[in-house]
Structure 1
Amino acid sequence: MNVNVQYPMVGLRGARTVSVVRHGRGAGERPSEEGSVPVCRPRDFEMAAEVSARAETVAGARRQLTGLLESSGLSECAGMVALVAQELMVNATVHGCGNRPEGRFSVRAMHRGGCLRVEVEDPSTRPPRLRSASADEEGGRGLHLVDALATRWGTDSSAPGKTVWFELDLFDEEAVS
């Protein structure tokens, strides 16, 4: 299913509205029986942070996101969401900021109406790409993890820079039964 949605976004490049077309299960579609969508009753929230491109600040941003998810009633999926967000933050550090410790990127997370969205914005215009990694390569698998765990993910390649995002549809117990 193709989804075309407009999102208001505020970040390092200022405020703008971005139109994206992405593939995946549509918002509101129930997960399949074998789907691994968590069942919970979360509270809506929004957070934004600017992060320096260093390993310790990525770890701190992951802990902050995990704490926010847990305090918002999303404990069941907090670890998985933090793992996927960390993949995007590491990509922003390595590829978006060129491993320069003075580099910066932003992280935003929001939950509204059963959809959790996490965005990582960095200064590079080079879009991420899924690639096949050989058995002896250290990298090249992160976006496969994002692709496997997220309901939808994509990229806004507006100059200067890009935003890589993922969404996870969450259903409460009444919606699933």
Structure 2
Amino acid sequence: MDGINTCLSPVTFRWDHHPRSVGLARRALCATLSDWGLVTAEDAALVVLSELLSNAVVHAQVPPGAQVETRFVRGADEVRIEVHDASPEPPKAVNADGLDCGGRGLHLVEVLAKSWGTSFRDGPGKVVWAEVSATR
């Protein structure tokens, strides 16, 4: 990530593995972006967070009691949104032209984020991350 502000620590939250956590995480991200003066990134960042966290909550097969972690990292003019879960399976985009009602979220992430991807993490599972610009 270019221009990480080392004066600000990442903001980390742990969420129950439940769909209601998505709304709670969205509110936490709004407050964080406001504190950081990055409200211009809010619309795109909220969609990206919703898609990444929904994927983790709905699709990640994890042990009972496992939580999902979100981490927000401030850059000079961007926010990095990370979703950590205990499943090693990477997210999979479906054909955007299909007739299914779901599965298009990663296409939205692709459009709204400067970049996104997955990486390993300490412990079991993966991190799915996306960087959203405040100057877009």
State the distance in 1 between where 2:66 and 2:61 align.
5
Quote the sequence identity (%): 34
Check the 8 A contact 1:150/1:166 in 2, yes or no: yes
Larger Rg, first or second structure (1 or 2)? 1
Structure 1 residues 64 and 57, CA gap change in structure 2 (3 angstroms): same
> Within 5 A, what are the aligned runs for 1:55-134?
55-97=19-61, 102-133=65-96, 134=98
1:46 equivalent to 2:42? Answer no
The DSSP-based 3-state class of the residue aligned with 2:82 is strand
CA root-mean-square deviation = 2.6
Q: Report 1 or 2 for greater relative contact order, CA contacts < 8 Å, sequence distance ≥ 6.
A: 2
Report how many aligned residue pairs link the two structures: 131
Q: Which amino acid aligns with 1:71?
A: D
More helix by share: 2
Long gaps (5+) in structure 2: none
Q: Structure 1 or 2: larger strand share?
A: 1
Residue 124 of structure 2 is aligned to residue 160 of structure 1: yes
Take 2:34 and 2:9, find their aligned partners in 1: how far apart are those partners?
A: 12
TM-score, L = length of structure 2: 0.82
Going from structure 1 to structure 2, the CA distance change for 1:97 and 1:52 (only over 3 Å counts) comes to: farther
Pairing 1:139–2:102 present: yes
Structure 1 portions without partners, runs of 5+: 6-26, 29-42
